[in-house]
A and B are shown apart, each in its own frame.
Chain A
């Protein structure tokens, strides 16, 4: 399944060097990581990382061929070796076919001319307008520092304390009182918003620490626009190399660190009695619930994907929909199941997820587009009110009000910037597809 893949155009993507002889070889820097663990595939899949970090899943035969492409053995020799340790015999022509048609175009192996433009995954619903806050090296230091929070004893103590704190917070009436106090005071509200931002950044540290604890290397932490809303992100692509438990620890690390943050805020409130601390603790619960949503690539999506054992749920939407559309045709079901390559239980769960996510995304986008004029009108009026408030606050030197209204105005417009990026991507893909269709007809 290579849908959603596009060739990169910049020169940095030239990763396959020339090959002096007829002996095929792997590209320099390719990592062979063995079987993708904890997967629900009928036929296992094997994981490799390209030098540019692109993760690729291969069939057992392709992986076996790749392991023997060391540049010292001819096609015939590679065929012999693959046949010796694989349950299917293959000849030199077969190896040549796999190298030339499958491995070389994807920048995994070299036999003939160097590949100048290798494709890379390019999912439609991905981050746009991204910027790095903490580079990978700094994130790895942070991850090392916080990794002990993932020790089982620490996790048990934290969750026990959280439970006790929540029982007290929501039964004593303190939470409600703290929120009422906070929203009535711009300075306190600014502190609350600031604490929520810190909580979200700490959430990202939880993913990085979980990734590191399992033995993988986290990448950068940054900010970007996901679909239509602003987010922090942590690059944990290397978590693909972990087993299922390691991947789930990485997935859950964010909301677990939210729980740690709630405990710290609760303890600070008990010590100081400062209301914004408890108000923020309550609102962080909302962040946790939001993160568990499985429809977009929030934490809930990765948790479902790793529990089921499918690394790329979105990549299965097309094949699932196509399979459901041609259901009932002779031989169609068998071919479809072979293409999906999932065990029965996983297949049913993925179908249920697809049937949930399609109306959610389509409905969301439709509502956004249909109601855009109304929403933009409201946003425009609200911006005018904010601006008036900022002007008056500026006159009176009320810094907290200035900051809150500026932040609120930014939040009002960011979704529309995100929608603009999303529509531009859709348009770009449509144009590319049109060009390809025209070229095919010529």
Chain B
């Protein structure tokens, strides 16, 4: 008969986190998020503007 509480103490409980399948809005890498955001969106937008002569 198992009455040794030190044995019962080892009975294991694990909470699982809610499972959320993610989808990124932009291709931003955690290491250099801002650099990439600027590179992907900022420079592309600038290129568009330059191409059609909006700013310069």
Chain A positions within 8 Å of B, measured between CB atoms, are: 1-2, 4-5, 45, 53-59, 61-62, 83, 88-91, 93-94, 97-98, 101-102, 106, 119-121, 123, 126-127, 183-186, 189, 197, 200-201, 203-204, 207, 226-237, 239-240, 250-251, 253-254, 286-287, 290-291, 296-299, 302, 311-312, 314-315, 341, 361, 363-364, 367-368, 375-376, 378-379, 382, 385-386, 388-389, 392-393, 396, 398, 401, 404-405, 407-408, 411-412, 415-416
Q: Are B15 and A4 in contact (CB-based, < 8 A)?
A: yes
Which residues from B are CB-within-8-Å of A186? Answer: 45, 48-49, 52
**B24 CB to nearest A CB, Å:** 6
Which residues from B are CB-within-8-Å of A287? Answer: 23-24, 27
Q: Are A233 and B48 in contact (CB-based, < 8 A)?
A: no
Question: In chain A, what residue has the closest Cβ to B26?
Answer: A411
Q: Which of A88, A229, A297, A379 contacts B28 (CB 8 A)?
A: A229
Q: Are A415 and B37 in contact (CB-based, < 8 A)?
A: yes
CA distance A405 to B23 in the complex (A): 23
Which residues from B are CB-within-8-Å of A291? Answer: 23-24
Q: Are B17 and A312 in contact (CB-based, < 8 A)?
A: yes
CA distance A121 to B19 in the complex (A): 11
**A39 CB to nearest B CB, Å:** 11
What are 16 A-to-B residue pairs whose CB atoms are below 8 Å?
A54-B15, A56-B16, A57-B13, A90-B2, A184-B48, A189-B48, A200-B25, A231-B22, A233-B22, A297-B22, A299-B21, A315-B14, A389-B55, A392-B55, A411-B37, A415-B37
Chain B positions within 8 Å of A, measured between CB atoms, are: 1-3, 5, 8-9, 11-28, 30-35, 37-38, 41-42, 44-49, 51-52, 54-55
Which residues from B are CB-within-8-Å of A367? Answer: 31-32
CA distance A345 to B25 in the complex (A): 35
CA distance A276 to B46 in the complex (A): 18
Q: Which of A83, A189, A231, A388 contacts B55 (CB 8 A)?
A: A388
**A364 CB to nearest B CB, Å:** 4
Known: A184-B48, A228-B30, A379-B38. A233 touches B20 (CB 8 A): yes
Which residues from A are CB-within-8-Å of B30? Answer: 227-229, 296, 361, 364, 368
Which residues from A are CB-within-8-Å of B48? Answer: 183-186, 189, 401, 404
Q: Are A302 and B12 in contact (CB-based, < 8 A)?
A: no
Q: Are A106 and B34 in contact (CB-based, < 8 A)?
A: no
Interface of A is mostly: helix
Q: Which of B1, B13, B38 contacts A382 (CB 8 A)?
A: B38
Q: Are A94 and B8 in contact (CB-based, < 8 A)?
A: yes
Question: In chain A, what residue has the closest Cβ to B37?
Answer: A411
CA distance A235 to B33 in the complex (A): 25
Which residues from A are CB-within-8-Å of B5? Answer: 94, 97
Q: Are A235 and B15 in contact (CB-based, < 8 A)?
A: no
CA distance A367 to B30 in the complex (A): 10
Q: Are A401 and B49 in contact (CB-based, < 8 A)?
A: yes
CA distance A291 to B27 in the complex (A): 10
CA distance A187 to B37 in the complex (A): 20
Question: In chain B, what residue has the closest Cβ to A315?
Answer: B14
**A312 CB to nearest B CB, Å:** 6
CA distance A364 to B55 in the complex (A): 35
Q: Which of B3, B27, B28, B51 contacts A93 (CB 8 A)?
A: B3
Q: Are B2 and A88 in contact (CB-based, < 8 A)?
A: yes
Q: Are B16 and A234 in contact (CB-based, < 8 A)?
A: no
Q: Are A389 and B49 in contact (CB-based, < 8 A)?
A: yes
**A282 CB to nearest B CB, Å:** 12
Q: Are A412 and B20 in contact (CB-based, < 8 A)?
A: no
Q: Are B20 and A197 in contact (CB-based, < 8 A)?
A: no
Q: Are A204 and B21 in contact (CB-based, < 8 A)?
A: yes
Question: In chain B, what residue has the closest Cβ to A401?
Answer: B54
Which residues from A are CB-within-8-Å of B46? Answer: 385
Q: Are B24 and A375 in contact (CB-based, < 8 A)?
A: no
Q: Are A229 and B13 in contact (CB-based, < 8 A)?
A: no
CA distance A200 to B24 in the complex (A): 7
Q: Which of B9, B12, B37 contacts A412 (CB 8 A)?
A: B37
Q: Are A2 and B13 in contact (CB-based, < 8 A)?
A: yes
Most buried by A among B15, B27, B33, B49: B15
